[in-house]
C-alpha cells in the first residue's frame, strides 16, 4: 500500500468514525439535559395540586373565628346604650346614641374576630371568613340606607324593628358559613325585629333585649363551646 493510499484510508476511517460518534454523544447530552426539565415539571404540578387542595379545604370549611367574648362585649355596650338612651326621646339623642353604639360594637366585634383568628392561626378574610362577611354586609348596608330614609321621613319608631330584623338577617346568612349557634342567634334577632315592627312602642325595650340580652347569652355559649 502506497503512502497516498494509506493517507486516504486513514482520512476515510476518521471521517466515518466522527460522523458515527457525534450523534451518539449529542443524544446522550440531550437525554441528560431533559431530566431536570421533567423533574421540574413534576414538582410544579405537585405544588399546583397541593395549592388546589388547600383552596378547596378552605372554601368548604367552617368559619370558627366568631368570638363569643367579642359578642358579649357588644352586648355590654348595647345594655349601656339602652340605659343611657332611655333618658332621651328616641327620635333625637336616643337615635344618635344607638348609632354610636353600633359603630363602636362593630369595631369591638371585628377586633375580637381577628384576634381569635390569629390565635387559631387562621385568616379572618379567607375562605369561610370571606363568605361570612360577604353575606353579612349587604344587610348592614341596607340597614344604613333604611335608617337614613326612615329618619328623613319621620318614621323613627320603625327603626328598632328594622335594625333588629336586618341585623338578624345578616347573622343568619353569614352564619350559614359558621357554627350552628350563629344562625340560631340571627333567627332570634329576626323574631324580635318582627315583634318590634308589629308593636313599635316596644322598640327600645326590644333593642335592649336583642342587642343586649341576646348578645350576652349567645356570646357566652359561643365562648364556652367554641373556645373564646
Same domain, 25 and 127: no
Total domain count, the chain: 2
pLDDT reported for residue 8: 46
Q: What is the CA radius of gyration of the chain?
A: 35
Phi and psi torsions of 109, nearest 5°: -65, -40
Same domain, 188 and 80: yes
Overall pTM surpassing 0.95 (yes/no): no
Domain encompassing residue 170 = 68-225
pLDDT reported for residue 226: 79
pLDDT reported for residue 48: 57
**Placement of cell 333625637 in the chain:** 92
pLDDT reported for residue 60: 47
Same domain, 93 and 130: yes
Same domain, 39 and 105: no
Q: How far is CA 102 from the centre of its chain?
A: 21
Same domain, 24 and 104: no
**Placement of cell 348596608 in the chain:** 141
Same domain, 79 and 142: yes
pLDDT reported for residue 36: 52
Q: Which stretches of the chain drop beneath a pLDDT of 70?
A: 1-65, 123-125
Asked if residues 74 and 101 have their Cβ atoms less than 8 Å apart, the reply is no
Amino acid at each position: 500500500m502506497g503512502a497516498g493510499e494509506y493517507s486516504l484510508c486513514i482520512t476515510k476511517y476518521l471521517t466515518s468514525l466522527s460522523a458515527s460518534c457525534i450523534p451518539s454523544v449529542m443524544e446522550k447530552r440531550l437525554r441528560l439535559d431533559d431530566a431536570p426539565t421533567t423533574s421540574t415539571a413534576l414538582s410544579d404540578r405537585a405544588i399546583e395540586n397541593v395549592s388546589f387542595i388547600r383552596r378547596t379545604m378552605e372554601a368548604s370549611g367552617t368559619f370558627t373565628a366568631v368570638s363569643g367574648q367579642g359578642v358579649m362585649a357588644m352586648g355590654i355596650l348595647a345594655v349601656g346604650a339602652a340605659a343611657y338612651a332611655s333618658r332621651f326621646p328616641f327620635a333625637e339623642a336616643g337615635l344618635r346614641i344607638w348609632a354610636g353604639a353600633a359603630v363602636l360594637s362593630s369595631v369591638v366585634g371585628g377586633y375580637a374576630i381577628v384576634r381569635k383568628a390569629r390565635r387559631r392561626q387562621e385568616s379572618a378574610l379567607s375562605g369561610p371568613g370571606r363568605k361570612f362577611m360577604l353575606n353579612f354586609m349587604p344587610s348592614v348596608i341596607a340597614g344604613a340606607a333604611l335608617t337614613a330614609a326612615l329618619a328623613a321621613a319621620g318614621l323613627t319608631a320603625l327603626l328598632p324593628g328594622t335594625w333588629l330584623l336586618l341585623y338578624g338577617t345578616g347573622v343568619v346568612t353569614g352564619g350559614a358559613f359558621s357554627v350552628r349557634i350563629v344562625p340560631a342567634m340571627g333567627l332570634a334577632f329576626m323574631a324580635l325585629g318582627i315583634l318590634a315592627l308589629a308593636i313599635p312602642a316596644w322598640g327600645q325595650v326590644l333593642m335592649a333585649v336583642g342587642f343586649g340580652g341576646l348578645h350576652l347569652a349567645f356570646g357566652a355559649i359561643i365562648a364556652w363551646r367554641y373556645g373564646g
